[in-house]
Structure 1
């Protein structure tokens, strides 16, 4: 099973990814972790990324895709994977599609967690109040203003992926505002449907 989880910051992607890892025995692949591992291992593409980051430049899509390609070729990814933090843009998604096709692979589904942004902001505000009242330290980015900035970046860069994958008949949309267990059950249901479709005629499911 190879899939992508989409959704804005605070949608619960991390929680649901862990559920899928445990339920299906697949691996969660974080772009940041893969970059750091490639640099540490001194792979050719890792060394290239190291030089780019040392200059303070953004790692280009081609290098990130090459690192993803190396990682999914490792034994623990043979049963499948969840991509975390990649793709972030439509050009990255197109590059990912080309790389998978070259390997004779394809994504099984793209699951989008739909959430209410105002509810997310209220959730953060409540958490900040509660942590402050308990005297607990706050992360620098754990505040409504930081979340607003991240949500704006998501809308501008990553939200267009929904339409991209919908045209391919791969997008499955879940209500991310439901309780965690209900979201997990809904994801399991659409993945079961996707698995059935992959053995028959592909079709769009919303």
Structure 2
């Protein structure tokens, strides 16, 4: 199973991805984690990424696609993968299409978790309060101001990826405002098609 999960920060992508990882024996691929791992491993593409990151620049789509290409070739990705946080732009979506085509692969699903963005801030505040009540550290990105900045960046840069996949007939939308188990059930229905 090869899947792209789309949606704004706080929509529940990470929660649903982890559930799918456990249930289907696939891997969740986070571009940030992959970049750090490639840099640490000293791979050729990781060395390119390191040079860019050390200079304070943004890693190019070409480098990110190269890291994804390397990562999906690893044995643990044979059963499939979930891309979470990628693609962030239409150019990245097009590059991903080319990469998969070159490897003779295709996406099984592109799922967007649709949420009421006004209610997301409350969701994030509740998540932070629950973490504090349990004595856990509050995620840095759960700070309301940081979250609002991330949401603005999503609306400006990333929200256009869903229409790209919709035009291709690949996009499935799920109500991400429902309780977690209902979102999971809806996701199972979509993936069962």
Provide closer, same or farther for how the CA distance between residues 21 and 56 of structure 1 changes in structure 2, counting only shifts above 3 A: same
Structure 1, unaligned runs of 5 or more: 194-206
Q: State the match for 2:115 in structure 1.
A: 115
Provide closer, same or farther for how the CA distance between residues 83 and 134 of structure 1 changes in structure 2, counting only shifts above 3 A: closer
Q: State the match for 1:58 in structure 2.
A: 58
Provide closer, same or farther for how the CA distance between residues 100 and 121 of structure 1 changes in structure 2, counting only shifts above 3 A: same
TM-score, structure 2 normalization? 0.93
For residues 54-203 of structure 1, the aligned pairs below 5 Å read 54-128=54-128, 138-193=138-193
The alignment partner of 2:56 has SS state of: coil
The alignment partner of 2:142 has SS state of: coil
Provide closer, same or farther for how the CA distance between residues 122 and 63 of structure 1 changes in structure 2, counting only shifts above 3 A: same
Q: Distance between the aligned counterparts of 2:100 and 2:28, measured in 1? A: 17
Provide closer, same or farther for how the CA distance between residues 191 and 132 of structure 1 changes in structure 2, counting only shifts above 3 A: closer
Q: Distance between the aligned counterparts of 2:20 and 2:168, measured in 1? A: 23
Q: Which moved more, 1:5-14 or 1:129-138?
A: 129-138
Structure 2, unaligned runs of 5 or more: none
Deviation of 1:50 after TM superposition, in Å, equals: 1.0
Q: Distance between the aligned counterparts of 2:20 and 2:136, measured in 1? A: 31
- Aligned alpha-carbon RMSD (Å): 1.8
Provide closer, same or farther for how the CA distance between residues 118 and 49 of structure 1 changes in structure 2, counting only shifts above 3 A: same
Provide closer, same or farther for how the CA distance between residues 122 and 100 of structure 1 changes in structure 2, counting only shifts above 3 A: same
Instruction: After superposition, give the CA deviation of every residue in 1:171-190 in whole Å (9 maximum; x if it has no partner).
Output: 01000011111100100100
Deviation of 1:125 after TM superposition, in Å, equals: 3.4
Aligned length: 193
Q: Distance between the aligned counterparts of 2:159 and 2:192, measured in 1? A: 25
In the alignment, is the contact (CA less than 8 A) between 2:45 and 2:67 conserved in 1?
yes
Q: State the match for 1:31 in structure 2.
A: 31
Q: Distance between the aligned counterparts of 1:74 and 1:128, measured in 2? A: 35
Deviation of 1:22 after TM superposition, in Å, equals: 1.2
Q: Distance between the aligned counterparts of 2:130 and 2:28, measured in 1? A: 31
List structure 1 segments (4+ residues) > 6 angstroms apart after TM superposition: 130-136
The alignment partner of 2:113 has SS state of: strand
Which structure has the greater CA radius of gyration?
A: 1
